[in-house]
Amino acid sequence: MSTENALLTILAEKIKNDSLVLPTLPEVAIRVREAADDPDVNLHQMADVISHDPALSARMLKIANSAYMGRSVKVATLNQAVTRIGLRQIKNIATALAMEQLFVSKNDTVKAALDKVWGLTVEVSSVAMALLKHYISRNKHTSLNLDTITLAAMVHNIGVLPILTEAERHPDVFANPAFLEGAISRLAGRVGGSIMRAWDFGPEFVTVAERWNDKRYEPESIAYIDFVRVAAIYADVMPVDGEKSEVYASYVAKGVIPDVEYMESEEFIEQYTIAKSIFAD
C-alpha cells in the first residue's frame, strides 16, 4: 500500500470511529467565551480576561481602532476597546483572533503547510468580512452580523488541522502536494464539522466548516456560507467551472453581492484591505 493510500485509509477509519484527535480551542478563547456566556459579566471583567493574553490584547485594540469598526476616534486601553466592540460581539471576534494560535507546528514541513493554510484563511476571511459589511449596508434589517462572519470565515477550513497532524506521521505525502490537497478537499469538511460540534459552536459555524466546499449544498436564503464561498472563489481556494464572473453572477441573482463588477471595485478593495489589516502582525 502506498504512503498516500495508507494515510487516506487511516484518516477515513479514524473519522468513522470518531478517534481522530481534534484541536482544542485556545485557552484564552475558552475563557472569553465562558465569560461572555455569564449573564453577570461586565466589560471590565471581560477586559481582564483578555488582558492575560498580550497578543490577543494587542489585536483587540487594533480591531477597535480599525476603519472596519467605522470609528475615527482612537481608543488607548483594553477597557475602551472592549467597550467599543461590545460584549455580544467580543465572544466571536476574540475567538477568531485567537485562531492563529492553532496553526503552529514544530515540524518544518507541517509548519510550511499550516502557514499556507493560515494565509489563505486570512484571505478568505478578509474578503468575506468586506462582502458582508457591504451587504449589511444595503440590508439594514438582516440578521447576519459582522462578528459571526469574522469567526465563521476563520474556522471555515479548520478541518485541515488534524489532517495535517496525522500526515506528519507520513512525511512522504508532503512530497506530493496534489495528493495532500486532494485528501484535504475530500475530508476536511467532515472533520471541520466534528471540530465545531466538539467546540459546541452554533449550527451556522457547523454548516460553514462542514459544507462550504460541498457544491451539493445550497441554502435557500442568504447565509454566512454564501459569503465564505464567494470569498473562497475570489481567493482561488474554491475551484469553479468556467469563469469566475459567471459564478459571481449567480450570487448577484441571489442578492449576496450587488453586481459582478463590485468584486473588482475600489470600494471592495478598500474594505478588503481594511479587514485584512486586522490580522497583520
pLDDT at 168: 85
The DSSP H or E segment spanning 122 is helix 108-138
CATH number of the domain encompassing residue 258: 1.10.3210.10
Whole-model pTM above 0.85? yes
N residues, the chain: 281
In whole angstroms, what is the distance from residue 267 CA to residue 271 CA? 6
**Contact present, 90 and 46 (Cβ < 8 Å):** yes
Number of structural domains found in the chain = 1
pLDDT (tens digit, 9 = 90+) per residue, 147-156? 999 999 999 9
Show the CA angle centred on residue 175, arms to residues 173 and 181, nearest 5°: 60
The rounded mean pLDDT for the chain is 91
**Percent of the chain with pLDDT strictly greater than 70:** 98
Q: Does 84 reside within a domain? A: no
The mean-pLDDT minimum among 174-178, 231-235, 265-269 falls in 174-178
pLDDT at 239: 87
Average pLDDT over residues 215-219: 93
Q: Does 51 reside within a domain? A: no
Average pLDDT over residues 117-122: 96
Residue 225 or residue 56, greater confidence: 225
Residue 175, number of CB atoms within 10 A of its CB? 10
Average pLDDT over residues 151-174: 90
**Percent of the chain with pLDDT strictly greater than 90:** 69
pLDDT at 16: 83
pLDDT at 154: 96
Q: Does 80 reside within a domain? A: no
pLDDT at 167: 85
Q: Does 86 reside within a domain? A: no
Count CA atoms within 13 Å of residue 199 on its CB side.
Answer: 29
pLDDT at 193: 94
Domain with 126 in it:
3-21+103-277
Q: Does 198 reside within a domain? A: yes
Q: Does 237 reside within a domain? A: yes
pLDDT of 1 higher than 70: no
pLDDT at 3: 66
Q: Does 66 reside within a domain? A: no
pLDDT of 194 higher than 60: yes
In whole angstroms, what is the distance from residue 187 CA to residue 191 CA? 6
**Contact present, 230 and 128 (Cβ < 8 Å):** yes
Q: Does 193 reside within a domain? A: yes
Residue in this structure with the C-alpha cell 512525511, named with its chain if needed = 171
Average pLDDT over residues 107-130: 94
pLDDT (tens digit, 9 = 90+) per residue, 244-257? 999 999 999 999 99
pLDDT at 92: 94
pLDDT of 281 higher than 80: no
Residue 69 DSSP symbol: G
